[in-house]
């Protein structure tokens, strides 16, 4: 599935949110974007973030070696293999603030 094919069936809010995430992580170095039926996976070379459409928001998830907090995080971080899986509920591109971008950088480098 191509990105264009993926976005044809998704909610309108998803592409602008994807663009913010993609442009940030692309600036960090090589990144592979894998659109699947359940969402978009960001890899370098392992998956470091996902973007999944939900009913009223996009679930932006990433893995960090520590627990972090943000008002848009409604789920408790999930421990896995010495790391913590975090999810931020994003409804518009402006929700992705500098803290979230910093965490995406950390996940990419991690």
- Domains annotated on the chain, with CATH: 3-109 (3.30.1460)
Average pLDDT along the chain: 95
Of 47, 76, 64, which Cα lies nearest the Cα of 100? 64
Strands 32-36 and 47-53 come out as unpaired
d(CA 14, CA 97): 16
Q: What per-residue confidence (pLDDT) applies to 10?
A: 84
pLDDT at 20 over 90: yes
50-71 mean pLDDT: 95
Residue 41 has pLDDT above 90, yes or no: yes
Three-state secondary-structure class, residue 25 = helix
Distance CA 53, CA 58 (A): 5
Is the predicted pLDDT of residue 25 greater than 90, yes or no? yes
Give SS3 for 66. coil
- Binning pLDDT at 50, 70 and 90, where does residue 103 land? very high
Model pTM score: 0.93
Six-digit token pair at 7? 């976005």
């Amino acid at each position: 599935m191509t990105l264009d094919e993926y976005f044809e069936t998704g909610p309108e809010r998803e592409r602008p949110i994807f663009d913010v995430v993609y442009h940030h992580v692309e600036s960090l170095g090589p990144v592979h974007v894998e659109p699947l039926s359940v969402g978009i996976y960001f890899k370098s070379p392992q998956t470091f973030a996902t973007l999944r459409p939900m009913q009223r928001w996009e679930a932006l998830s990433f893995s960090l070696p520590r627990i972090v907090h943000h008002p848009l995080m409604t789920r408790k971080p999930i421990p896995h293999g010495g790391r913590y899986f975090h999810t931020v509920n994003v409804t518009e591109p402006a929700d992705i603030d500098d803290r979230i971008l910093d965490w995406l950088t950390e996940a990419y480098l991690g």
